[in-house]
Structure 1
Amino acid sequence: MSSATGRLAGRVAIITGAGSGIGRATALRFAAEGARLVLGDRSDAVHETAALAGGGAVALEMDAGLEADVVRLVETAVDTFGALDIAFANAGISGGLTGIFDHSVEDWQQILQVNLIGPYLIIKHAAPRIMKQGRGSIILTASVAGLRSGAGCPAYSASKAAVINLAQTAAQQLSATNVRVNAICPGLIQTGMTQRAFDHAAEKGVTDRIGRLNPLRRAGQPDEIAATALFLASDEASYVNGQAIVVDGGLSSSHPVTRQETGRTAA
C-alpha cells in the first residue's frame, strides 16, 4: 500500500506501540505515504500491523522501555533499509484510575519506564542515526494529562508532563542538527488503553456521554492522531520543533473535570 510519490516517499520510520490503536493507525498512514517501516510492540499483533502496512514492513516484538530492545529496533531499521529518518515513540501504559495514595513505587517505576524512559531511549539511539540523513523527525506521544490535572492518574499524568518537557529539551539539545523533536498530546482516543471505559459506557447505555466534556462532544479516533503524526514527520512541519501539539477536541481549552477526593489524609 506504499506510495512512491507520497509525503514520506523513500524515508524509513520506526514506530513503537504499533500493534494497535494510534501506533497501527500511524503505521498505515506512513506506509500509504511511502515510508518503509520497522514496527515494535510487546504484542504479537504487531505482525498483523506489518502485514496490513505492506511494502516490506518489518515487525519486532519488543519492550519499548528496555534499552536493548530499542537498540535492536533502531539497528533493524538501519540494517534492513540502510537509514533512519523518522522515529515515533508511541508506546505507553495508562496506570488505570489509581489515586495518589494507592500507587506503589513499583507502579510508578513501571509507568515511568515505558512512558518516559522509552521515549528517551528512542531519542538517545535514533537521533544519531537520523542526524546522518541531515534532517528528520522524532515524535513522542504525550497526553493532555501532561498539561494539567484531571485527565489521568497521578503517575501517568506525571510521566506525560515529563514527555512534553523531554521534547522541548531534546529539541534544544539537537540544535543545528536539523532533527526536529515534537510531542503529540491526545485527548480521549478510542484505543485498547481506553476500551474499558467505552465498554462500560455501552453496558450502562450511556455511550452518548463519552467525550462529553470537550466541545466536539465525542471521543477521538486513532487515525486523527495518526494524521498529526504524519504532519510532524513530513516536510510540511519543517519549522515545527520543540512543541506539544494538542489533539483533544478542545478538552484542554478548559479541562472541565469532576474533582476526585481521596477521602484520606496523608500520614
Structure 2
Amino acid sequence: MPRFEGKSVIVTGAGSGIGRAAARLFAEEGASVLLCDVTEGAEAAAEEIKAAGGKAVGRQMDAGAEEDVRGAIEAALGEFGGLDVFFANAGISGGRDSILEASPDLWAEVLRVNLVGPAMAIKHAAPVMKERGGGAIVCTASVAGINSGAGSAHYSASKAGVMSLVKTAAQQLTGAKIRVNAVCPGIIETGMTKPVFDFAREAGKLDRVGRLNPLQRYGVADEIARVALFLASDEASYLNGQSIAVDGGLSASHPVTRQAYGQVAV
C-alpha cells in the first residue's frame, strides 16, 4: 500500500523546487495534497498532479501570515476531511547583504517567512492533528543553520531558529502523538538558488557548485523531497525533534582542503 494512502497533506512553497517535488511524491504515494505558494505556481503544480491521476488542490497563500496558514488548514479540512501531514517548506533567501548591510526590515521579513511561518504551521496544525489521533510536521531548515558560510546572517539565523523550533515543539507537543522534525538541505538547484546556478552556467563553472562536500556535487529538489517524505511517514515513527542534514556530507566536517579520493595529502 502507498505510504500516504488516505492521508491529507499540506505543502507550502509548493509552486517550485523542493515543495513542488514533495507534493508530487506525496500524491504518488496516495496522499490528497493541498499545494500552497505565494505565487500562482501552486495551482499549476496541482493541475500537473491531477493530470497524472493524483489528488491535489492549489492555493495561493503567504506562508508567513497567520491568517493564511489558518485558512490553508481550514481548506484542507474542507477538501479532504482532515490533516495528517504539514510540510512547512516555504522560505526566502533575503539576498546576500552582509550583517553590516542588512536592514531591520529585511531581517524582519526573512524571519517572518522562514521562522514565524513554520511556527504558525505548528500552532494551527497541531490541534487539528491531535483530534485526528496524531500526525507529522516537517519543516525546511538548512545547513546554513548548522554552520556559517552557507548563507547570509539573516537567512542563517532564521534556519537555525527552525532547528530550535522543531526541538521545542516536539517537547511541547508531548502526548499529542505529533512528530516534528526538520530537513536541512545543502546546495540544491531550486527557484531560490536560481541566480547562483544561472551565474555558474554562464561562467562555465557549473561543475564547481557543490564541490566542497565529499560527494563533490550539488543536489536536486527530489533528493530533499524524499527525505521530507520519510520524516512524514510511519517509517520515521520514532524520530522526533531532529534536524536531518541532506548536504552531500558538507556539514560533517569543518572547512578543510580536501584531496580527491585515492590521492595522498601532502
TM range (shorter): over 0.9
After superposition, the C-alpha distances for 1:22-62 in whole angstroms (9 at most, x for unaligned) are: 00000000000000011110110111110122233111111
Give the TM-score taking structure 1 as reference length.
Answer: 0.93
Amino acid corresponding to residue 20 of structure 2 in structure 1: R
Match of 1:6 among 2, 18, 21: 2
Query: How far apart are residue 221 of structure 1 and its match?
Result: 0.4
1:41 aligns with 37
Q: Is the 8 A contact 2:148 2:156 kept in 1?
A: yes
1:169 aligns with 168
1:84 aligns with 83
The 4+ residue runs of structure 1 with deviation greater than 3 A are: none
After superposition, the C-alpha distances for 1:174-227 in whole angstroms (9 at most, x for unaligned) are: 011110000110000000111111111111111110100101111100000110
1:112 aligns with 111
Match of 1:26 among 18, 22, 26: 22
1:261 aligns with none
Percent identity reads 57
1:265 aligns with none
Alignment partners' CA distance in 2, 1:141 and 1:22:
9
1:248 aligns with 247
Which runs of structure 2 are paired with 1:1-267 in the superposition (5 Å)? 5-54=1-50, 55-256=54-255
Alignment partners' CA distance in 1, 2:171 and 2:121:
16
After superposition, the C-alpha distances for 1:209-251 in whole angstroms (9 at most, x for unaligned) are: 0100101111100000110011011100000000001100000
Structure 2: segments with no counterpart, 5+ residues:
258-266
Query: How far apart are residue 112 of structure 1 and its match?
Result: 0.3
Query: How far apart are residue 132 of structure 1 and its match?
Result: 1.4
Query: How far apart are residue 255 of structure 1 and its match?
Result: 4.7
Q: Is the 8 A contact 1:150 1:255 kept in 2?
A: no
Alignment partners' CA distance in 2, 1:95 and 1:81:
34
Structure 1: segments with no counterpart, 5+ residues:
259-267
Alignment partners' CA distance in 1, 2:256 and 2:58:
39
Secondary structure in 2 matching 1:176? coil
Amino acid corresponding to residue 202 of structure 2 in structure 1: E
Pairwise CA RMSD: 1.1
Secondary structure in 1 matching 2:132? coil
Q: Is the 8 A contact 2:7 2:32 kept in 1?
A: yes
Alignment partners' CA distance in 2, 1:179 and 1:193:
30
Amino acid corresponding to residue 157 of structure 2 in structure 1: A
Alignment partners' CA distance in 1, 2:112 and 2:183:
19
Amino acid corresponding to residue 225 of structure 1 in structure 2: I
Alignment partners' CA distance in 1, 2:120 and 2:71:
11
Secondary structure in 1 matching 2:219? coil
Q: Is the 8 A contact 2:86 2:136 kept in 1?
A: yes
After superposition, the C-alpha distances for 1:82-140 in whole angstroms (9 at most, x for unaligned) are: 11000010000011211110000000000000000000000000111111121210000
2:263 aligns with none
Secondary structure in 1 matching 2:55? coil
Alignment partners' CA distance in 1, 2:256 and 2:225:
27
Q: Is the 8 A contact 1:150 1:257 kept in 2?
A: no
